[in-house]
Amino acid sequence: MRLLVFGKTGQVARALGRLAPDATCLGRDAADLTNPAACAAAIAATDADAVINAAAWTAVDRAEAEEAAATLVNGDAPSAMARAAAARGIPFLHLSTDYVFDGAGDQPFAPDHPTAPQNAYGRSKLAGELGVRAAGGSHLILRTSWVVSADGANFVKTMLRLGAERERLTVVADQIGGPTPADAIARALLTAARAMTQGAPGGTHHFSGAPDTSWADFARAIMAEAGLPCRIDDIPTRDYPTPAKRPLNSRLDCRAFTAAFGILRPDWREGLKAIVKELRP
């Protein structure tokens, strides 16, 4: 399978590069998402069998002040990519987020649950979803949550750094979701891409790590895995204000994805072991 990947330095893009070394991975220098037309042109010129968009604006808080820029990257660019892939007749796989929902309740969100993003980042990602669907081609929108790896900036790396410096940390305990290893996301995308090049349908699906947990409990697991004595104290979200409103409920119902592609939710505890081993050998 010849694969074209948008993204080179992000967590999932790096994992894709390792797992599919023959894939063509386009960084910002080759495909700037602030130029949707250039991204579309890259697809028009490729001989790839499938396209994966693993690039995005991920600065959630900054998006509150720069929503137009975030929407250009997360909305307009993937929409243009999807149209170009549809014109070529090849599958287009796109990563999205639980932030397209309102974060209310305590039940996992199904793929067909009504969307109601509560912040600018979520709105920008929803714009991308709508554009990908409107393009009319074979596509997969894969919503995920709480992405972690040994690459880039993420919660695990932050906790390891702070845990080595401090005796005690306060972490929000009323936000619940599934930490998802970037490696698992990359493997899922590759499996789905292969199936879709053989005619399997795509659609909108969910994929997140299991079991669901809180940020505070996740932090405790990180400290335990790394052998750090740092104590984690629970606090509510209201005691940790941020420019962008965070969802209290990030649980995702992933059963349809398992049924469609045979991919089970990854156990984030196993993923955490691998990440900590890489970062703290």
Rounded to two decimals, the pTM is 0.97
Question: Does the annotation count 121 as an active-site position?
Answer: yes
- Read off the tokens for 149: 């790896």
| Domain extents in the chain | 3-148+182-208+253-261
CATH class in words for 3-148+182-208+253-261: alpha beta
Reported as a single tens digit per residue, the pLDDT across 141-176 is 999 999 999 999 999 999 999 999 999 999 999 999
> Does residue 281 register a pLDDT over 90?
no
pLDDT at residue 247, rounded to an integer: 98
As beta bridge partners, residue 140 has 93, 203
Catalytic residue among 6, 57, 121, 268: 121
Query: Where do the DSSP E strands lie in the chain?
Result: 3-6, 24-26, 50-53, 92-97, 139-144, 147-148, 168-172, 176-177, 180-181, 203-206, 213-214, 231-235, 249-250
